[in-house]
Amino acid sequence: MNISELGTEQTNLASAALDTKTALEIATIINHEDSKVAAAVEKALPQIALAIDAITETIRMNGRLIYVGAGSSGRIAALDAAECPPTFNTDPKTVQYVIAGGEKALTRAREVREDSNTAGVRDLRKLKPNRKDVVVGISASGRTPYTIAAIEFARKQGTKTVAVTCNAHSPLGRAAEIDIVTEVGPEVLSGSTRMKAGSAQKMVLNMLTTGTMARLGYIYGNLMVNVHTKNKKLVERGLTILQQAAGVDEAKAARALKSAGNQVAVALISLKTGLGRTEAGEKLKRTKGNVRRAIESD
């Protein structure tokens, strides 16, 4: 697959002579192209759902979701992984990432590393993927050697594998069991896949982790009941969640949150069931973190 043949590498006629446009014209063109991203993601919803089910089962069985990517794709993966613990109270080991070039690549371009098959295998091997895990390879082109090699290695270990790409029939897609393809087409800045392709990847990863955590019961309704209350804003968010979910006033929500050691989920279970902090916490453990089941079960 030559790079010139990829949909993400074609010339976008809508942005021809972009360097001659006014600021408003440039913003308008980019915005118009960005509006196509959600439609491209929509076409991949069946495959996204398959991946959500696979990841849900994995985490339910104490397995891990491991992202693999290079460049912008790796940075998007790192962002999603980093946001899971404070949002869903997951162990940092539950959702992890591997990026070509290591952590230094998060803030400095190290694109040369993405051509190394050996590095892809070596970096993923350090995490010892097994049959309980899911490895998700992310590459706009779908032909990044580092990511393909990592996915191929994961499959040999019996690990479930998912590809997230923006070009159909890609080597990465063929290497994985589930192929999520969001064909966003040519970028406004030709070949700059940090744009529409990057937006599509971010949307897909949001769906994978949010969908998984919803299936596991780490949220309640559409409320972030496992949010970490580490600063004033997050404490206020926690209080608002308790007021909405339990139908109590702010004062009662504050007392419940304090009694629960600032754990919103435990406070909500206490408010809904009348249980104390210890009993509510134990019930949450018995349901493996499923807040609704903890509230509704005997």
Cβ-based neighbours of 8, under 8 Å, separated by 6 or more: 140, 141, 166, 167, 184, 185, 186, 187, 191, 193, 196, 197
Residue 236: active-site member:
no
Residue 282: active-site member:
no
The sheet that has 65-69: what strands, in order across it? 95-99, 65-69, 134-138, 160-165, 178-181
Q: Is the dihedral of CA 6, 7, 8, 12 positive or negative?
A: positive
SS3 216: helix
SS3 128: coil
The radius of gyration computed from the CA coordinates of the chain, to the nearest angstrom, equals 21
DSSP 188: S
Choosing from 9, 83, 177, 279, which is the catalytic residue?
A: 83
Choosing from 33, 114, 152, 187, which is the catalytic residue?
A: 114
Cβ-based neighbours of 38, under 8 Å, separated by 6 or more: 203
Residue where the block lists tokens 């769906």? 207
Which residues are part of the catalytic machinery? 83, 114
